[in-house]
Every structure is written in structure tokens, then in C-alpha cells.
Amino acid sequence: MNIPGFAFNPIALAIEGAIIGFMIAVPVGPAAALCIRRSITVGAVAGYMTGIGAALGDAVFGAVAAFGLSFVQQFIAEREAWLLGAGGVVLVVMGWTTMRHRPRTVGDPVADDLEHRIATHFHYASSSFFITVFNPLTVMAFGAAFAGRNLAGVGASLPDAALLVASVFCGALAWWTVLCMAAVALRARFTGTGLLWLNRCSGAVILAFGLAALISLLPLPWKEIGRALGF
């Protein structure tokens, strides 16, 4: 299909971008733990806002790969240790506070305040966004996916690159929508004690990812260790 302004078939490009965004968003990580926890403890809107933030983070890295922003990729590669360290500290703090968080009491007047809800929803989206963009492995995953699908040159055309980034965002958001709906469906099964343990478990997952990021900065022969473990 030859459409003016597009070097690639826009329909095929949109489908491929959505699939790439969906598949890269699927692996379980700290953002997924946040989305599940917030969907169950707060509600669908909180979980969905968390998903939107994570999808925006994926779209940023999709844009870096699509537009071929080599200076951004070089910046991330040169400062990977700093990004991992900062992200690890944020995840450790977030995981610890999540583990110690107690469910809100019913009828809390602050929770019904409009200004508080807006600020809280912004916090839901921004926290998952920063968790996503502080992971330098994501841009590598997008680069590999685009190269594997012969999309490395898509940045030469602004319409192609913009469509691909938008499709990546939609594909990632589709996954977060599915995850949020599944978590909300389980919400009625959680009692007060169940919510407390959910906070502890999700916090432990987030904390574990943070510790893993910090441990990876230690000067150890990680390649040899990985091969010894069969990775």
C-alpha cells in the first residue's frame, strides 16, 4: 500500500508496533506489581493510571529506538550504572514503604477530596513512568525488536516513526488494561488481612527488583556466573 508520506505500509507498521509494545510490557516487573496492588487496594482507575504511566515510559524508549536517537542511546550506555543505581534505590524505598503500608480505612474523608484524587492519580502515573524509564534494558529491548523486524530505518520518515511510537504506546496500554481488569476481578476476594499481605508481597517484589539492580553494580564476573547457572 503506497500512501504519501509513508515509506512503510502504515497498517502493517501499526500492527507491528502494537505487538512490540504489548510483548515488551508483558514481562512481570515492579510496574506490574504496582498495577496489580493498586487495582485491588484502590480501584480500577488507580491501576489504569499506573498502566498509563508505564505505557508512556515504553513509548519514550520506543521513540528513542524509532527516531534513531543515538546520542540518547549513548548517554544511557555511558551512564547505565548511575541509572541502575538510582532506579535501584527508588525501588528499594518504594518496596519498603509498600510493605509497611496499611490499607486505608473506609470513609476516609481525604480519599473523597477531588484535589487529593487528582494529585494521587498523577502520582500513580508518574511513579510507574519513572520506574520504567530508569530501566536502561528497555531501550535495548526496543532496539533489538526494531532491528529484528527491519524497522531500524523507520526514523527516516516522521509519519512512520510517529505512527510506530503511537502503536507501541497503544500495544503496551492494551496489556496494562488486561492486567488491571484481571486484578479488579479479584478485588472482592481480598479481605483486610488479604490486603495487608498483598501490600507485603507486592512490596517484596518491588524491593527484590531494586536489590537486584543494586547488586548488579557490584564488580563481580556476572557473565561467568550466568554461564555457570545456565543462563
- The CA-atom distances, in angstroms, between 126 and each of 40, 87, 114 are 19, 14, 18
2 domain-assigned: no
Total-model pTM? 0.73
90 domain-assigned: yes
Q: How confident is the model at residue 158 (pLDDT cuts 50, 70, 90)?
A: confident
Note the pLDDT of residue 55.
Answer: 92
Note the pLDDT of residue 176.
Answer: 92
3 domain-assigned: no
5 domain-assigned: no
105 domain-assigned: yes
167 domain-assigned: yes
* Average pLDDT rounded to a whole number, residues 198-213: 78
Number of domains in the chain: 1
Give residue 121's identity as a one-letter amino acid code.
Answer: H
Flag whether pLDDT at 107 surpasses 50.
no
Nearest partner of 55 among 99, 100, 25, judged by Cα: 25
Report how far residue 100's alpha carbon sits from residue 22's, in angstroms, rounded to the nearest whole number: 32
For the chain, how many helices (H) and strands (E)?
10, 0
Q: Which tens digits make up the pLDDT trace of 72-90?
A: 556 556 666 776 777 778 7
218 domain-assigned: yes
Nearest partner of 42 among 129, 106, 136, 100, judged by Cα: 106
Dmax (CA) for the chain in angstroms is: 59
- The CA-atom distances, in angstroms, between 12 and each of 19, 24, 72, 128 are 11, 18, 27, 29
Helices 114-133 and 44-66 cross at an angle (nearest 10°) of 40
Task: Check if the beta carbon of residue 202 is closer than 8 Å to that of residue 98.
Answer: yes
Domain housing 174? 10-228
1 domain-assigned: no
